[in-house]
Amino acid sequence: MNKKNLPKKERQQELQNLLENDPFLTDEELADIFDVSIQTIRLDRLELKIPELRERIKSVAQKNYSKVRALSAREIVGELVDLELGKRAISILETTDDMTFEKTKIIKGEYIFAFANSLAIAVIDANVALTGVANIKYKYPVVAGQKLVAKAEVTRVRGNKHFVFVRVFHKEKEVFRGKFILVSLDGEVSS
């Protein structure tokens, strides 16, 4: 369906549908889709009582934090927007200036590592866990202000070892990937 030049009523209906499917569309992206100004999208959201993106992310994340077992919710770097425990998880990180190298303004590797590593720990179905091994690759530099999406998938569980594959994207581009082997300590450490 062509979404450009819709009458206001139909545009607002369509906007509501789009955000139900993907609550993480930005106002800029919506403006592009409908070929209207960002201001128009903001007014549409206001009339429809749809909160801004940041609030939508928080509200979705809130539901997921309660499911996490292997670490405390506030220890997860970024916002946890999807979680199927023991299977897969998605989190979002808005990168900021204070995460960058002074010389290059590129995000330091340790922040992307912490983002991916904490998601890997969050996704596994264990009471407590530690990282044992990680093989990671930084594919493209990330600069401050870019929004990153991390997708984790549990690929195998063998005994107390959980194999998790995490990919980090900026828009469609994969900027980082890592294979983690996590060791659950259930039974060894009282929680």
Applying CB under 8 A, which part among 1-9, 35-43, 97-105, 160-168 lies near its own copies? Answer: 97-105
Give yes or no for a contact between 76 and 83, defined as CB atoms under 8 angstroms apart.
no
**Nearer to its own copies among residue 50 and residue 126 (C-beta):** 126
For residues 38 and 27, what is the distance between their CA atoms, to the nearest angstrom?
6
Which residues are bridge partners to 21 per DSSP? none
Applying CB under 8 A, which part among 16-24, 48-56, 132-140, 166-174 lies near its own copies? Answer: 132-140
Q: 134, 143, 144, 157: which one contacts its own copies (CB under 8 A)?
A: 134
Q: Is 46 in the site for its own copies (CB under 8 A)?
A: no
Q: Helices (DSSP H) in the chain: which residue ranges?
A: 8-21, 27-34, 38-48, 53-65, 109-123
Applying CB under 8 A, which part among 7-15, 48-56, 67-75, 160-168 lies near its own copies? Answer: 67-75
Q: Is 71 in the site for its own copies (CB under 8 A)?
A: yes
Phi-psi region of 169 (alpha: psi -120 to 50; beta: other; left: phi over 0): beta
How buried is 115 (Cβ within 10 angstroms: 0-12 exposed, 13-18 middle, 19+ buried)?
buried
**Nearer to its own copies among residue 4 and residue 137 (C-beta):** 137
Beta strands 147-158 and 161-170 are antiparallel
Applying CB under 8 A, which part among 10-18, 20-28, 103-111, 158-166 lies near its own copies? Answer: 103-111
For residues 83 and 85, what is the distance between their CA atoms, to the nearest angstrom?
6
Give yes or no for a contact between 99 and 159, defined as CB atoms under 8 angstroms apart.
no
Q: 6, 114, 144, 157: which one contacts its own copies (CB under 8 A)?
A: 114
Q: 24, 138, 165, 169: which one contacts its own copies (CB under 8 A)?
A: 138
Q: Is 65 in the site for its own copies (CB under 8 A)?
A: no
Q: Is 21 in the site for its own copies (CB under 8 A)?
A: no
